[in-house]
Amino acid sequence: MPLDAPFIQRALIEALLLSGLAGVLGSWIVLRRFAFFAHGVGTAAFPGLVVAGPAGVAPQLTGLAAALLYAGGVEWLGRTRRVATDAATGLALVAALAIGVILASDVFEAPASVDRLLFGSLLGLSDRDLWLTAAALAVALVLDLRLRRSWLTQGFDPATARALGVRAAVADPLLLVAIVLACVVALDAVGALLVTAVLVIPAATVRLVAPSVPTLQAGTAALAAVEGVGGLWLAYELNIGPGPAIAVLGGSVFALVAAVSRWR
């Protein structure tokens, strides 16, 4: 792998920035059981990404708009109680994928880009992509510093959170916003369908053995960095997509750690 090539350097920096997001937010995604929400946000952003190219705007912007529309739609459907939340989520995800595919292949007639949008391209990033990921990481770090006790208490013991002086009504929506931002900036690297490979799988793996939240966050960041760089190397050497390579590597490590921790 040519480390002096700018596209490889950008890919490595992005992998490390995403590992920071995985450490800070991935841990909360797993602890607070927002893994499916994160997967949903990634998938829902797909039609937004399709529109970005022909519209000449940043894909992160249209992806964010689509993701927020999805999150708001699911929340509204759930609140009306006319549709169960899981059914509403399934409905929204199928609609997002179908609309994205129709837009890409029949409206904008660019079917070749569908693979890239769904599975990402860590090797084709711009400087702007890196700056956006860095900004999302900065936001995540600030929110984590300010709200981690609220997120912890509300997750561990929601019945008592308010009596302990925790304001979950503000903290939890901000956690969801941070997750949406993290998913959107990860889309270029790993695509709409593999966001969880970066934001969920490393945290779920370390979760099997971590004794505390700080250990979980540090361990997740380290593992995500190793899997990101390792997946990138595998992708380059085997001439396969970096997103799928990272996902397969992450899944394999998870299976190994799960088996070993169970055996011990």
Partner 1 sequence: MAVIVRAENLAGGYAPGADAITGVSFALEAGTIAAVLGPNGGGKTTLFRALLGELPLRRGTVELAARPAYVPQTDRTRHDFPVSALDVVLMGAYARTPAWRRVARADRDAARATLERVGLADHARRHFGALSGGQRQRVLIARALLQDSRVILLDEPLSGVDATSAARIDELFAQLRADGRVLLVATHDVEQARRWDQVVCLHGRQVAFGPPAATLTTDVLRRTYGDELVILAGGDRAIAVEHHAH
Which residues within the stretch 105-144 sit at the binding site for partner 1 (CB under 8 A)?
none
Give 10 or 207: the residue with its C-beta nearer to partner 1. Answer: 207
Lookup result for tokens 């799960």: 258
Binding status of residue 220 toward partner 1 by CB under 8 A? no
CA distance 261 to 240: 31
Tell me which residue of 24, 5, 2 sits closest to 185, measured CA to CA. 24
Binding status of residue 145 toward partner 1 by CB under 8 A? yes
Q: Could you tell me which stretch among 3-11, 52-60, 152-160, 176-184 binds partner 1 (CB under 8 A)?
A: 152-160
Binding status of residue 159 toward partner 1 by CB under 8 A? yes
What is the H or E stretch that residue 67 is in?
A: helix 59-80
Which residues within the stretch 50-109 sit at the binding site for partner 1 (CB under 8 A)?
none
**Concatenated DSSP letters of 207-237:** HTT-SSHHHHHHHHHHHHHHHHHHHHHHHHH
Lookup result for tokens 């490595």: 12
Residue 242 near residue 123, CB atoms below 8 Å:
yes
Give 147 or 183: the residue with its C-beta nearer to partner 1. Answer: 147
Give the per-residue contact string, 8-37, with partner 1 (x = CB under 8 A; - = no). Answer: -----------------------x------
Interface contacts to partner 1, rule CB under 8 A: 31, 145-149, 152-153, 155-160, 162-166, 207, 210-213, 215-216
